[in-house]
């Protein structure tokens, strides 16, 4: 199966540098805790966590506050051909903070959702065709095959630990996707490009063939009022476009 093969490639690929995340509140681990941790790792195994073997890097704005934007490292399991589940971290470091969760479904499953549920699910075609969504360490052909399998899919993402916090405080926040040129902070993309070996522009050009697969998706225009000067990406079209001016 294609996804299983890609997951295996991802697992065996070289890891990116282990840069430390911002520390959480609390005192350092005691020697006793470290011994217990080592014993647990040896005797208990990793259970379902060990199946989170697909690594994706994406960028999320909060739907109700889209100026708050962050890089999110997704560690995912492809449960079946139409459903995946991911744990989100703020980096790929060993001590990264678990910041949220995301569920991914196919366009077919999205079409079965009731209307009031659809407002929680963001479209993925913009992330894919823009080159923003990446699978680090995969060669471009393998990454393109993985992205092809995600065309026209949707994600439901909740962030629980926000920038500037020592602990995950307050209510979970619904995150969204970027669907137009000019919505994302260019500094986020530039930082990711500096850390990798393939640029966002390279990924965008490599995925041009996927544009023919793109269907209109719900939620593409969700951030349009927050970014009135943003311009459409080819192939990224809202299934129910907003009408009239937004400024």
Range of the domain at 196: 2-11+52-232
Residues ≥6 apart with Cβ < 8 Å to 20: 93, 95
Residue 22 lies in a domain: no
Residue 121 lies in a domain: yes
Q: What's the pLDDT tens digit per position in 146-163?
A: 999 999 999 999 999 988
Residue 17 lies in a domain: no
Of 186, 181, 176, give the one whose Cα is nearest residue 222: 176
Q: How many domains does the chain have?
A: 1
Residue 239 lies in a domain: no
What confidence category does residue 8 fall into, taking pLDDT thresholds of 50, 70 and 90?
very low
| pLDDT of res. 138 | 95
Q: What's the pLDDT tens digit per position in 124-148?
A: 999 999 999 999 999 999 999 999 9
Mean local confidence (pLDDT), 4-9: 40
């Amino acid at each position: 199966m294609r996804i299983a093969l890609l997951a295996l490639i991802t697992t065996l690929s070289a890891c990116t540098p282990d840069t430390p995340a911002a520390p959480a509140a609390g005192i350092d681990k005691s020697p006793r805790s470290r011994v217990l941790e080592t014993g647990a790792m040896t005797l208990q195994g990793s259970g379902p966590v060990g199946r989170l073997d697909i690594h994706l890097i994406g960028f999320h704005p909060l739907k109700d506050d889209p100026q708050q934007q962050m890089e999110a490292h997704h560690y995912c399991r492809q449960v079946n051909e139409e459903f995946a589940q991911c744990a989100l971290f703020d980096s790929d470091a060993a001590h990264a903070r678990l910041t949220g969760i995301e569920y991914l479904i196919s366009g077919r499953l999205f079409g079965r959702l009731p209307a009031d549920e659809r407002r929680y699910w963001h479209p993925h075609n913009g992330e894919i065709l823009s080159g923003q969504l990446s699978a680090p360490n995969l060669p471009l052909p393998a990454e393109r095959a993985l992205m092809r399998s995600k065309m026209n899919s949707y994600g439901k993402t909740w962030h629980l630990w926000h920038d500037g916090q020592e602990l995950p405080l307050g209510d979970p926040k619904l995150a969204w996707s970027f669907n137009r040129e000019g919505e994302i902070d260019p500094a986020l993309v530039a930082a990711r490009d500096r850390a990798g070996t393939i640029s966002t522009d390279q990924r965008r050009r490599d995925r041009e063939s996927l544009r023919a697969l793109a269907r209109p998706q719900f939620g593409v225009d969700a951030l349009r009022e927050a970014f009135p000067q943003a311009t459409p990406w080819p192939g990224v079209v809202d299934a129910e476009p907003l009408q009239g001016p937004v400024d």
